[in-house]
Structure 1
């Protein structure tokens, strides 16, 4: 699964064979959550509160890029890297 961003120990990845709704995977230590790009709600798994808050903050800043990456994945193309949270 391609890693599209990484910050504060959180790894953001996106599959190119995924199902709707548009989402990304956030991994932190042994935790993983699937987050809907449109609503920024957790649709699967879980993250610790602080890691989830940082992930959502990052996703708000990069929602348009996340949707572009989702579209690339649906075309079976590699998603582009997205700047980390600073």
Structure 2
């Protein structure tokens, strides 16, 4: 069973990697992003999207931990 699980995880990682590579290769148009008076130079669209994905993957779990810890603190001692 462990071997099948590893194979599925490996296959999933490979598929995700191929999708990311295809996305990067398809989105090479240069764009400039402007926000609150700050502007970037010409960078491919895929860079902005992948950076946003990584930031979201970092912030999401951190917010989950924060909410879970606050919920845990607000629970009365007698209840779980």
TM-score range, shorter chain: under 0.3
Compare relative contact order (CA 8 Å, sep 6+) and give the higher one, 1 or 2. Answer: 1
Structure of larger gyration radius: 2
Where is the strand percentage greater, Structure 1 or Structure 2?
A: 1
Where is the helix percentage greater, Structure 1 or Structure 2?
A: 2
